[in-house]
């Protein structure tokens, strides 16, 4: 299995985030990817390589031009306000909610940040754009390799991506790597592609990007949005819109869900993906379903992830794995590579 590794990921390292009314150290840290890379190397599970560099047209297939221009220039705008801002991350503080206009980009920088974000837990740092941009290249490179005939590839990057929409960031995410991979597969000639999100938190950005599309099936197994972040999307009655009606499947589960019940939801998702007729699969590989995760609530154990990989392999689809969440830092490497190993051994 080829892994495309973002060697620039550590350029993005937030200082603090807003969590339950307090500024706390960020849960999303560079060590997450470092542990996965170390475990991949230890088990010798395929090759690790840098991504190909893609032009912005691939990004524009998913994200709006206005949003990309903001991401590219946000840090420079922040420094222009005050050179002392070099020691502070950008955190949103005001947002346009219902009845407010979003078609006009404000001149005020704080308002501009709020226009393109939805939470105060996603710090924008000096290296955010560089890291996110290289992460997108990893996802696109992984998809390109699958189109070329590989059975499976892995995009190992951070910041993660599945909470990012066409024109907004949040949930630690800025560019939607899974959506970019899926779109690349479509643009490469596949008529039907599926995205399966197994992160604890619903992939609201991915759902929003493809919600009215008949060619991309989105399925997500996640914590119930009535109690779990990102809260406002991910209910079971969200099934797609317009031409995309029926191509969206949400399987929300309660806190405390163990592997047996979680695996039943996975079986449901894979059956629907097969019924859809997908020709390739993109997996948003979130590892925060682990029982020891500090900001999540499922009860999967380390050994369960081998079986997750085996189940995914039985779909018999060319597969792009894209690294997402997982904040039990010491265990995230073993857990993530267990999925990949279970998948690879089943297809070997």
Least confident of 21-25, 268-272, 300-304, 337-341: 21-25
The answer as to whether 79 is a domain residue is no
CATH of the domain at 318: 3.40.800.20
Write the pLDDT tens digit of every residue in 177-188.
Answer: 999 999 999 999
Measured between alpha carbons, how far is 200 from 214 in angstroms, rounded to an integer? 25
- Is the CB of residue 145 less than 8 Å from the CB of residue 51? no
Predicted local distance difference test score (pLDDT) of residue 348: 64
Handedness of CA 230, 265, 268, 161 (dihedral sign): positive
Pairing of strands 22-25, 280-285: unpaired
- Is the CB of residue 155 less than 8 Å from the CB of residue 322? yes
40 has pLDDT over 70: yes
Predicted local distance difference test score (pLDDT) of residue 68: 98
Please calculate the CA angle 185-190-192 and round it to the nearest 5 degrees: 100
347 has pLDDT over 90: no
Total domains in the fold of the chain = 1
The answer as to whether 329 is a domain residue is yes
Q: Give the burial string for 321-347 (b: 16+ CB within 10 Å, else e).
A: bbbbbbbbbebbbbbbbbbbbbbbebb
Confidence of residue 254 (pLDDT cuts 50, 70, 90): very high
The answer as to whether 234 is a domain residue is yes
Write the pLDDT tens digit of every residue in 131-160.
Answer: 999 999 999 999 999 999 999 999 999 999
The answer as to whether 340 is a domain residue is yes
Predicted local distance difference test score (pLDDT) of residue 19: 86
- Is the CB of residue 161 less than 8 Å from the CB of residue 139? yes
Write the pLDDT tens digit of every residue in 82-141.
Answer: 999 999 999 999 999 999 999 999 999 999 999 999 999 999 999 999 999 999 999 999
- Average per-residue pLDDT in the chain? 97
Chain mean position to CA 73: 22
In percent, how much of the chain has pLDDT > 70?
A: 100
The answer as to whether 259 is a domain residue is yes
Q: Could you list the residue range(s) of the whole structural domain that residue 173 is in?
A: 2-53+128-347
The answer as to whether 60 is a domain residue is no
**Active site members:** 163
pTM of the model: 0.97
Q: Write the CB contacts of 69 (distance below 8 Å, at least 6 apart in sequence).
A: none
**Residue 100 to residues 7, 28, 91, 94, 198: CA-CA distances in angstroms?**
40, 31, 20, 12, 33
The answer as to whether 196 is a domain residue is yes
Please calculate the CA angle 313-215-188 and round it to the nearest 5 degrees: 75
């Amino acid at each position: 299995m080829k892994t495309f590794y973002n060697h620039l990921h550590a350029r993005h390292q937030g200082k603090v985030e807003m969590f339950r009314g307090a500024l706390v150290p960020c849960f999303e840290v560079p060590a997450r990817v470092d542990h996965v890379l170390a475990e991949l190397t230890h088990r010798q599970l395929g090759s690790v390589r840098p991504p190909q560099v893609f032009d912005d047209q691939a990004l524009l297939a998913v994200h709006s031009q206005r949003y990309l221009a903001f991401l590219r220039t946000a840090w420079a705008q922040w420094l222009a306000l005050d050179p002392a801002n070099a020691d502070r991350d950008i955190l949103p503080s005001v947002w346009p909610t219902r009845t407010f206009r979003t078609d006009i980009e404000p001149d005020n920088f704080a308002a501009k940040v709020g226009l393109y974000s939805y939470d105060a837990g996603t710090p924008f740092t000096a290296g955010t754009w560089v890291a996110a941009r290289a992460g997108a290249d990893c996802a696109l490179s992984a998809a390109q390799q699958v189109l070329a005939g590989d059975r499976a590839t892995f995009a190992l990057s951070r910041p993660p991506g599945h909470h990012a929409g066409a024109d907004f960031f949040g949930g630690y995410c800025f560019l939607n790597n899974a959506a970019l991979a899926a779109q690349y597969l479509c643009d490469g000639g596949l008529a039907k592609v599926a995205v399966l999100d197994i992160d604890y938190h619903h992939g609201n950005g991915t759902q929003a990007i493809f919600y009215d599309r008949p060619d991309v099936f989105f399925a997500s197994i996640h914590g119930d949005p009535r109690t779990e972040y990102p809260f406002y999307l991910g209910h079971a009655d969200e099934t797609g819109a317009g031409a995309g009606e029926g191509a969206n499947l949400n399987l929300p589960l309660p806190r405390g869900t163990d592997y047996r019940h979680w695996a039943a939801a996975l079986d449901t998702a894979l059956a629907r993906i097969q019924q859809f007729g997908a020709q390739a699969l993109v997996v948003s590989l979130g590892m925060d379903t682990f029982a020891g995760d500090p900001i999540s609530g499922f009860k999967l154990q380390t050994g369960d992830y081998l079986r997750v990989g085996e189940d995914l392999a039985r779909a018999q689809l060319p597969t792009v794995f894209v690294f997402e969440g997982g904040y039990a830092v010491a265990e995230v490497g073993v857990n993530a590579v267990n999925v990949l190993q279970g998948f690879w051994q089943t297809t070997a």
